[in-house]
Structure formats: structure tokens, C-alpha cells
Structure 1
Amino acid sequence: MTPAPQTRDPLTPPLLDAQGRTMTYLRLSVTDRCNFRCTYCSPASWGGKKDLLEPGEFERIVSVFARMGIRRVRLTGGEPLIRPDILEVAGRIAAVSGVERVAITTNASHLERLALPLREAGVSQLNISLDTLSEATFRSISKQGDFASILKGIDAAAGAGYASLKLNVVVMRGVNDAEVPALVSYAHARGMTPRFIELMPFGQGTPVPTAELVERLQATGLELAAEEEQQSAATAGPARYWRAPRGLVGFISPLTQNFCGGCNRVRVASNGDLRSCLGGRAQAPLHALIRGGATDTELALAIRGALGEKPEGHRFTEPGAGASLLSMMGIGG
């Protein structure tokens, strides 16, 4: 594969991958542990990585990426809010020069306590995972977790003044697909944008194609109009949006509407391993470099080298693809 084009100074933007796509969005896992065990994400056998990064090491990595052109950082997991130092991590990253937006993806179980402190630390956007409004269905998806705490956390976030709140729903046939209309109403009532995600082949369950979900929602009488002016994938991420009477409804379709062509994302796992693609294994051990005394220039060269191996797209739809993938928890979302 052709290496990513190099600039004279590896720390100077733009940060390009092997396909010439510009990377502006860093998904940074701060832990691969979770207080839930959702069937599609975190297998019971997953024990977690050892030697997770410290707040200063996360800050160092983000500062290098920011110098290279990263402008948006999302903190992921596992469940990022189970880190006792999450407010310090978020605050350090929000203060990095060049970072324009810090977001967190969370299961909301700790948001009743942390929603306001996180916003005050500099987090401007929350993506909250909620796959069902039924506690019984929740128990079929995850044997662990306090369902009531999720709902309280969501209400706390809705009242905390975030610039953006999104409700992420992984749709599984025969499990929660009948709840899609109710989840739209639930989200819009709280000023949130619901987003329905096609299940990816990391764990158990059967996906439901986006086109089918749109048809189902329209069949219930919900008026949906496709947004004529979608933001580009390079700035807005993989979701495609439809307008409903009370707000937007988003769909993320990695299987049926591949969005890899506009990819602007790079991932770093909680132990500092850079992964250039959600569906691949090319990586760079940034943690080892940092702890070995690497300069910012050496880190930048390692980052550009890994992105030089980033494939054109994932291969989730190929037969047997799921067998070669790490769990979602292991990758970091």
C-alpha cells in the first residue's frame, strides 16, 4: 500500500492516510473496562488491557495529534466514566491548544453525578448509549448494570446545558427493533437526536438494515424528510440524518451504506495503541514510544507510518470477517 504523503515537518498538518483522506477526528479510549456486559460489545471473556495510560500521557498524545491537525476528540471506552480521574482527563484534553471540541460516549450510568462537572470541565457533546426503554430487554442485552441509573443519568444530561446530546441505539432484530418509534419520541422529548446504528460483527445479534428502519418509522405515521444538505462525512461523521417534526433522526449504516470513503477518524486504545481503522489491525505502540522517551517528532512519524497502512475501507460484509476482529471494547469504539 502506498504510504501516506509526508510533509517536511511530520508535525505540520494535514494528517493524511494512505488514501489521501484528511484526519481531523481522534477517538481516544480511556478504558476498555465497562460496568455493563452488552452482548454485541463486551464478551464475558474480555478481561481488559493492563497498564492503561495516565492523564498526562493522554494529554501528550492529544497535543501531538492537535499539532498535526486533529480538531475533535471523543473519549470512549469501555465506559469512560468509570475512570475515577475522568474529570482530570477531560479537562486536560479540553485545554489542549487546537482542540475545538471534546465529546464523550457513555452508557449514562454515572451521568446523574457527572453530567454537570463534565460540561464544566470542557466537554460539549455527549453520545449516550440506550438500546431499549424496557428493563427486561435491557437484561437480555446486558446482565450487568443498573437500568434506573441510566434513565436518571440521561435526564441529568438533558438538564446540564450541553451543546449536543445524541442517543445511540444499536438495533438488533427480534430484540429491540420494535422499540425504534418509542426511542425517537423519548429522545426528542429530551432535546436529543436519536441515532440508530446497524449492528456490526463484533458480537452477538442480527442487524436490521437502515432502509427497513426508515420504512418502519414512516409506516407508524412519522413524517421523515431526508436532509438535502448533509454535512460531509469529513466534518460530521458517518451518520445520515432525516428531519422529523420534533427534530432530527440519524442512521449509521456501516453495512448497507458504507461511509469509509469520507473517513476522518483515527483511534487510540486505552493502552496507547494507535489503530488506523476500526476494521483492521494496523497499529503503532504510542505508549511504548512515550515511555521510551520519544520526542513529539518521533511520535508524529509513528502516527503517519500507521496511517500509511490504513485500508480504503472495512471488510465487515465479507464472509467470516467477524472472526478476525477484536471485540468493540478491545478496539475502543
Structure 2
Amino acid sequence: MTAATSQPPTSPLAPPLLDAQGRRMTYLRLSITDRCNFRCTYCSPASWGGKKDLLDAAELERITSVFASMGIRRVRLTGGEPLIRPDILEVSRRIAALPGIQHLAITSNASHLAALAVPLREAGVTQLNLSLDTLSPETFRRISKQGDFAAVLRGIDAAAAAGFSSLKLNAVVVRDVNDAEVPALVEYAHARGITPRFIELMPFGQGTPVPTAELVSRLRAAGLPLEPEPEDTADAATSVTSGPARYWRAPGGRVGFISPLTQNFCGGCNRVRVASNGDLRSCLGGRAQAPLHQLIRGGATDTELAVAIRRALGDKPEGHRFTEPGNGATLLTMMGIGG
């Protein structure tokens, strides 16, 4: 147990974690590796070599416990591909058991899920976001460059059978690559009880994005009636708000859209990111960081970690400003940021 449990109510650990805009942070995206067994064009360039000195399981637990003491209630393990870590089950168990953590999710490419789906659920993981951009083996190879397409499909089926409280299927849509497959991906996901979500390509990788409004029109033209849900609708499976996704209702289930370019989602941001080497990054498109790993390895107390976290969040911008030229944001690969 860390020192966080013994801090007095007046310590920096006690007040809610707010950013510079007064938004309350309740969601931690925690990268546990920046390595991946795929090389997707929109995420991981071939030149990406990865960071060194990744956080170990105990350090990941300690950082999360400090965030939990400041009001973080939801944690998502990201990467890279988090399931390639040999200690993924230990990391999951440690974080799921922390006081205050209500939801533990993982984002994965599903290639290791056939063997890990049930053990992950038993370790305390409640939600999975699985990446699948195409149902075509040839297009999969074009996008991912490497990886086992059949293993991905087996992993998705294993996850659907494992009893997670929430399953989502994320597809990054790239014009003239996989945009024609959007209706088929909706059908595939709904047939397995999974919510499909389509993501506008962000300015990190190769290709041309397809605006959400165009995708909605295409789905309706393909015969899928879509009706928008209110933006503040809570996810019934998790009892938490839907975050950057906007959901539409269809006969087979929900369909989600994440639109960072055409429908800026920053106004209600409730999240903070920690990279796999322990660098806190307050915004996906900003510069503000805090080297939490250096503080931990330098003997910092939990209170000192909390002060550093609050200081970094004090510089969190109102929005990402990806579309504004010369805004000064440091655009790293998604692998480098942690998703």
C-alpha cells in the first residue's frame, strides 16, 4: 500500500483533479508499452524504435494509486499493444484492485486475445476496445504491414464470448483504403454484440480522413437508419459518459463516431495520459508534461507526485488545435503518445 492512503484530507491528494479550464479529470489513459506487433500506417511508422526504461508493474500501480486518490475512477491500459507485455495480467490485477478504481479497460489489436480474454476478465478488466479497420486480409496487410489477421478475428470472437461489460470495435477510416467497408464493419460488430466506432484519421499518420458526416450519409444510403443519441447519454454498460464518441442508434445496436477534426471533442475532456516511460502528457496535442518516472525513481513522496501532476494539468489547453497551422503542438506518433 502506498503512502496515498495515509495522507490527511488537506494534502494535495485530496481535492479533485482539475485542469486549467476547470474540467475535472476522472479518466487515466495509461500506456504500458510503446511497442507493438503491428505497424499500422496511421499509428506506428516503421522508424519508431520505442522508448527505454518502461514503468514496471509496481510503478504503474503506484502512479495509478496517486491518480485514484485525486478522483480518477476509470483507467484504460494502452500501448503500443498492451497485451504483448508478459506481465499484463499482473498489471491488470494490481490496478483493478486499487481503491477508487471503478472501471479498468484495455485497448488492443486483439491478436493475443484468444488466449487472454478470459484471464483478463478474471483479473479485473471490465471493458475492451478492439481495433479492426477492415474485414479484408489484403487491406489488413496494407494498413498493418504485419500481424496475423486470422488471430485478430479469433481474438475478437473470444472477447465476445468472455463476458466483458463493454466491448467496442474501433476502426480508423482512411479514404480509398477502408471507407467502403464501414457498413460491413457495422454488421460484423453488431452480430457479435459489439459497438462499432469509426474514428476520423488524425494528423499523425498517412492517408486522407473521411468526415463523420459523410460516413453517416453513407450508412444511411446503404440502408442503415441512424438516429443520434443525446450527447450527454451515459454508456449503459459502464454507467459513465461516452467521452469523445458521439453515438447513433441503429436497429442492430449503437454506432459510434469519434470526430477530432470535424466535431472537436475537447470541451468535455476528462482525461489525462501517461506514456509508457512515465511522462505525463496533459493533452494529446499539447506540450505540457511531467516526468513522473524520474520523480518516483528519485524518491518522491505521493504528495510530491500529486503536486507535479497538478502543475502539469494547470497547463492543459482548452483544445488540441490540430487543424490550426503554427499552433506549436508537438505531434508525435500515436505510439509515442500512448493512444
Task: Tell me the amino acid that sits aligned with residue 93 of structure 2.
Answer: G
Partner of 2:42: 40
Measure the CA separation in 2 of the matches of 1:330 and 1:217: 33
Pick the aligned partner of 2:258 from 213, 236, 252. 252
Are the structure 2 counterparts of residues 309 and 250 from structure 1 closer, same or farther at C-alpha, using a change threshold of 3 Å?
Answer: same
CA gap of 1:323–1:277, structure 2 versus 1, over 3 A, is: closer
Q: Does 1:313 align with 2:324?
A: no
1:286 aligns with 2:292: yes
* CA distance in structure 2 between the aligned counterparts of 1:232 and 1:102, rounded to whole angstroms: 17
Q: CA deviation at 1:315?
A: 1.4
Q: Is residue 107–residue 130 contact of structure 2 (8 Å, CA) maintained in 1?
A: yes
Tell me the amino acid that sits aligned with residue 160 of structure 2.
Answer: A
- Distance in structure 1 (CA, Å) of the matches to 2:120 and 2:261: 33
Indicate the SS of the match to 2:25: coil
Q: Assess if the C-alpha contact under 8 Å between 1:125 and 1:162 holds in 2.
A: yes
- Aligned equivalents of 2:327 and 2:153: distance in 1? 35
| Residue number among 266, 272, 278 corresponding to 1:266 in the alignment | 272
Cα 1:264–1:198 change in 2 (3 A) is same
Contact 1:202 1:322 in 2 (8 A): no
In the alignment, the residues of structure 2 paired with residue 312 and residue 290 of structure 1 have an alpha-carbon distance, to the nearest angstrom, of 29
| Matched residue SS, 1:42 | coil
Secondary structure of the residue aligned to 1:261 is helix
The aligned amino acid for 1:287 is H
Distance in 1, Cα, partners of 2:131 & 2:246: 18
Q: Secondary structure at the match of 2:190?
A: helix
- AA aligned to 1:124 is T
* Mapped contact 1:34–1:77 kept (Cα < 8 A): yes
**Partner SS for 1:159:** helix
Task: Please list every run of 5 or more consecutive structure 1 residues that lacks an aligned counterpart in the other structure.
Answer: 1-6
Q: CA RMSD in A?
A: 1.5
Aligned to 1:3: none
Distance across 2 between alignment mates of 1:220 and 1:308: 46
Q: Which amino acid aligns with 2:277?
A: N
User: 1:1-333 alignment to 2 at 5 Å?
Assistant: 8-228=10-230, 230-231=232-233, 235-319=241-325, 324-333=330-339
Q: Give the conservation status (yes or no) of the 8 Å contact 1:196–1:252.
A: yes
Q: CA deviation at 1:142?
A: 1.5
Query: Deviation of residue 227 (structure 1)?
Result: 1.0
* Post-superposition offset of 1:250: 0.3
Quote the Cα distance in structure 1 between the aligned partners of 2:281 and 2:230.
33
1:194-237: per-residue Cα shift (whole Å, max 9, x none)?
A: 00000000010100000000000000110111113633798321
Task: Report the alpha carbon displacement of residue 324 of structure 1 after superposing the two structures with TM.
Answer: 3.6
Alpha-carbon distance in structure 2 between the residues aligned to 1:323 and 1:228 = 31
Matched residues in 2 for 1:116 and 1:316: separation?
A: 38
Distance across 2 between alignment mates of 1:243 and 1:156: 25
Q: Deviation of residue 320 (structure 1)?
A: 6.4
Structure 1 pair 324–294 and aligned structure 2 pair: CA distance change class (3 A): closer
Contact 1:201 1:321 in 2 (8 A): no
1-side partners of 2:17 and 2:330: how far apart?
28
Q: Distance in 2 between matches of 1:170 and 1:16?
A: 30
Unaligned runs of 5+ in 2: 1-8
CA contact (8 A) 1:209 1:253 kept: yes
Q: Which residue of 1 aligns with 2:5?
A: none
Report the AA paired with residue 212 of structure 2. T
Cα deviation, residue 8, structure 1: 4.7
Q: How many residues align?
A: 327
Identity of aligned residues (%): 81
Residue of structure 1 in register with 2:6 after alignment: none
- TM-score between the two structures when normalised by the length of structure 2: 0.94
Q: Distance in 2 between matches of 1:209 and 1:51?
A: 38
